[in-house]
Amino acid sequence: MSWLLTRTLVAMLAAVVGVMIGRAIGGTFEEGRLGGLFGGALSVAAVVLVDAWRGQQLLSWLRGAQDRAAPRDAGFWGELGYRFERAMRLRDQAIVTERVRLQQFLSAIEASPNGVMLLDGGDQIEWCNSVAADHFGLDPVRDRRQRLTNLVRSPAFVSYLQKGEFDEAIQFGDALGRRMFSVLVRPYGEGMKLVLSNDVTERERADAMRRDFVANVSHEIRTPLTVLAGFVETMSDLPLTEVERRRVLTLMAQQTDRMQALVADLLTLAQLEGSPRPAADRWVSVAGLLQRASVDGGALSAGRHQITVRGGDDAEIAGSDTELLSAVANLVNNAVRYTPEGGRIELRWQWREDGGADIDVSDTGPGIAREHLGRLTERFYRVDGSRSRDTGGTGLGLSIVKHVAQRHGGEIDVHSEVGKGSRFRLRFPAARVRQRGADAPAAEAASGAMA
């Protein structure tokens, strides 16, 4: 109320000054009194005018953008301006705080690996994160306020949204059929919807692979089992001579061997997939490894092929002895099984310039047509099914080799030409190979050896 007191005092002062001026001008008492009243009224009018001018100043500041400070004044209008300005500043701060919070919230949703979209009551897009935009083929900015059903091509999704039964998620594919999405809608507020989507392409692919795998295994086991069942029936129903009995037993043994080989390979694969990578601090002698694989191959070949080993004398690979032997032996085993009698098979160790090294298993066999090369390491993929089975193949050998290579930081590379033989190469990185006795990383050892 201090502003009222000031104003009253100023008005009184103005009246007194006015009266004094009036008296000074007027001569008689009456004229002096009139002059005093007039002077007082003028002074009060002057105060009111000044007030009105200051009020106008404040009003025009309020009407404007308030981009400069409110008019400063020690009195009534000054305080009013200050209060207005403070209230506006607090409001602006609150808006900024809320905006930051909203932005943080949206950034958190944006960081989600799943698609998130908000639809209003008319199924128009209120907001969506970039993952949802990618899933539905939208532009998060341009397509805002557009009706989702006008933009999404999948009829399954459109009818799901229109039906309004959102108890379960729906799956649909993109236009090219390359990706699969699972979408769940959750209604909220007044007719609004939260649309959650995720990419299930990999999961679906893994499921399909698992289904294929089970079907393949069942098929692989059923065939020898059917043969065995037939022989059992033959033996129990027919009176066989000793020679026939022996022949049937040999054939039965072949089928059980086949099943045993399949089960052994399946167990090896399961173990490779389910165990941690072999530690990189156990060093395996390459010479010993190649020698053992060559001896195993020689036993299988029984002198029908010429098997040679080259290089690798002082080399070592870090990893699992059993796994590495199984990989190299599988390659040699294939070379022996697919290369006709009289062919040559070579096991060779070679340092690379980048410090890594390769184990090559080459043969002079029939070779493999180019279109099969990319699929050879798939489980149960065979170029020639009957040849593979006749020679005791399970269709899992190269799949095992690929796993072993990958578990040792390497890869398998196949080079083959029909009629000219094949070369299967296991490539190991520098970190996994070294020269025997060298503590230094293999790269240095390798360059030393090549120099």
Contact residues: ligand ADP, CB under 6 A:
334-335, 338, 363, 365-366, 368, 376, 381-384, 388, 393-399, 422
**Given the complex with ligand ADP, which of 129 and 394 has the nearer CB atom?**
394
**258 class by beta-carbon count within 10 Å (0-12 exposed, 13-18 middle, 19+ buried):** buried
* CA separation for the pair 438, 447 (Å, rounded): 12
**Given the complex with ligand ADP, which of 147 and 382 has the nearer CB atom?**
382
- Is the separation of the CB atoms in 117 and 148 below 8 Å? yes
- Is the separation of the CB atoms in 360 and 386 below 8 Å? no
| H or E element, residue 253 | helix 242-274
The structure tokens listed for 129 are 């994160």
**Given the complex with ligand ADP, which of 81 and 365 has the nearer CB atom?**
365
Minimum Å gap between C-beta 310 and ligand ADP is 18
Minimum Å gap between C-beta 260 and ligand ADP is 14
- Is the separation of the CB atoms in 424 and 297 below 8 Å? no
The structure tokens listed for 17 are 């000054």
Minimum Å gap between C-beta 189 and ligand ADP is 57
> 4 has which bridge partners?
none
Residues 6 or more apart in contact with residue 88 via CB below 8 angstroms: 66
The structure tokens listed for 377 are 């390491």
Minimum Å gap between C-beta 397 and ligand ADP is 3
- Cα(first)–Cα(last) distance of the chain, in Å? 99
Cα 38 to chain center, whole Å?
89
**Given the complex with ligand ADP, which of 316 and 360 has the nearer CB atom?**
360
Minimum Å gap between C-beta 380 and ligand ADP is 8
**Given the complex with ligand ADP, which of 227 and 373 has the nearer CB atom?**
373
The structure tokens listed for 179 are 């990706």
**Given the complex with ligand ADP, which of 210 and 387 has the nearer CB atom?**
387
Return the number of other C-beta atoms located less than 10 Å from residue 235's C-beta. Answer: 15
CA 107, 112, 115, 120 torsion: positive or negative?
A: negative
**Given the complex with ligand ADP, which of 356 and 366 has the nearer CB atom?**
366
Minimum Å gap between C-beta 337 and ligand ADP is 6
Minimum Å gap between C-beta 318 and ligand ADP is 25
Give me the amino acid identity at 450: M
The structure tokens listed for 432 are 């996994």
Minimum Å gap between C-beta 424 and ligand ADP is 7
**Given the complex with ligand ADP, which of 236 and 386 has the nearer CB atom?**
386
